[in-house]
Structure 1
């Protein structure tokens, strides 16, 4: 059987460490997913490609979509985006911002291109969190981007990974183990939670 191809694309949460890694995977949730798939589903183990780049917003994905997604012709495509679209409003408010309507419009076009030009099964991951406080300003701003992600998942029949919900559920327990190192980038625990949520949702390899 021909080996299938799984492409992950996103921002620094997806990229984390991949440019220092000879395998170009990094030290992140993508690597954990790779490791667990190799152990649990060796007969269906896909080729895994990480195309995360730090700082990316949805507009940055659009600029490299043809090369980093369409040209790779993935069988499965997993997208994690939206954190920087909100975070830039907080840490760099003077730059040109991407608000929810523009976020959804660009995202819609990218998904349309995947549907029209490939046979990929699309997996949308909810944006995770901005600060480990359920009602932080970042998490409140993130709600509109989550809603857009949900609408697009329904419109294009994508698999939706409830990453944001998983993080809020853990935060609600009061667990005294950090999920991030700075409110956004994952600790080892956060990466484990992302991978666990992804694997529980995406059953294609089981």
Structure 2
């Protein structure tokens, strides 16, 4: 009996001393996410924020962004680029190219197909055991009077993502809303770029920090 008791004590102590695995977080998206692993990028900034909170060892951050990707590109590459990493949390940050490429390349993604592919991505991630956080696309132009060429489409696709989050009971990182609110306060000249973006779409330092702040809150709440 004493031997069994000692064995149980040692087993419990051993389990307590075994370091827990970090929470693995994959950021799944397009060129905005591809650039986010570079110095000053939003993923790097989230890592820096974890360090200041002495939580760097609690998380493993992985970027999975490829320039030009639309929702169906994410679906086609998710096995290798996301599921193989066995994420605990996955941020899905896509939609800009699904809208933007309609005007620039005559491609893009129709709304019904966008929703179907997005739902398939969600279901596959959940089936693999990952928590899923959806993100709305932010901006294609920063004018605050809704005169950017594709504001209407961005609003529509952002609503589609909000609806997907609501239907699937998923956390929503509403970057569209956050960017619009920031620009209303910080873009008095109605500039089309230079407030949160370098070129109307891709993030500057302020934009990367805003995305990092919004995602960080949801990430630490999702564990």
TM over 0.5: yes
In the alignment, what sits opposite 2:119? 108
**Quick one: which of 33, 55, 62 aligns to 1:14?**
33
1:73-111 C-alpha deviation (Å, 9 max, x unpaired): 100111100000111012112xx3311111111000111
Alignment check: 8 A CA contact 1:80 1:124 kept: yes
Q: Show structure 1 runs of 4+ deviating over 4 A.
A: none
**1:89-108 maps to which residues of 2 (within 5 A)?**
89-93=102-106, 96-108=107-119
**Quick one: which of 204, 208, 211 aligns to 1:187?**
204
Are residues 1:5 and 2:51 paired?
no
Q: Distance in 1 between matches of 2:54 and 2:88?
A: 16
Larger radius of gyration: 2
Q: Distance in 2 between matches of 1:205 and 1:84?
A: 27
1:139-196 C-alpha deviation (Å, 9 max, x unpaired): 2111121111111112222210111111000111243662101100001111111111
Q: Which runs of 5+ in 1 are unaligned?
A: 18-24
Are residues 1:73 and 2:86 paired?
yes
Structure 1 position 33, deviation (Å): 0.9
**1:41-80 maps to which residues of 2 (within 5 A)?**
41-42=54-55, 45-80=58-93
Alignment check: 8 A CA contact 2:33 2:66 kept: yes
Q: Which runs of 5+ in 2 are unaligned?
A: 1-19, 189-193
| TM-score (normalizing by structure 1) | 0.88
Alignment check: 8 A CA contact 1:123 1:158 kept: yes
Structure 1 position 43, deviation (Å): 6.7
Q: 1:171 to 1:85 in 2, by over 3 A?
A: same
In the alignment, what sits opposite 1:199? 216
How many residues align structurally? 196
Q: What's the secondary structure of 1:110's corresponding residue?
A: helix
**Quick one: which of 177, 199, 205 aligns to 1:165?**
177
Q: Over aligned residue pairs, what C-alpha RMSD do you find?
A: 1.9
Are residues 1:132 and 2:178 paired?
no
| TM-score (normalizing by structure 2) | 0.82
Q: Distance in 1 between matches of 2:57 and 2:44?
A: 17
Q: 1:49 to 1:174 in 2, by over 3 A?
A: closer
Segment drifting more, 181-190 vs 64-73: 64-73
Structure 1 position 41, deviation (Å): 4.4
Q: What's the secondary structure of 2:92's corresponding residue?
A: strand
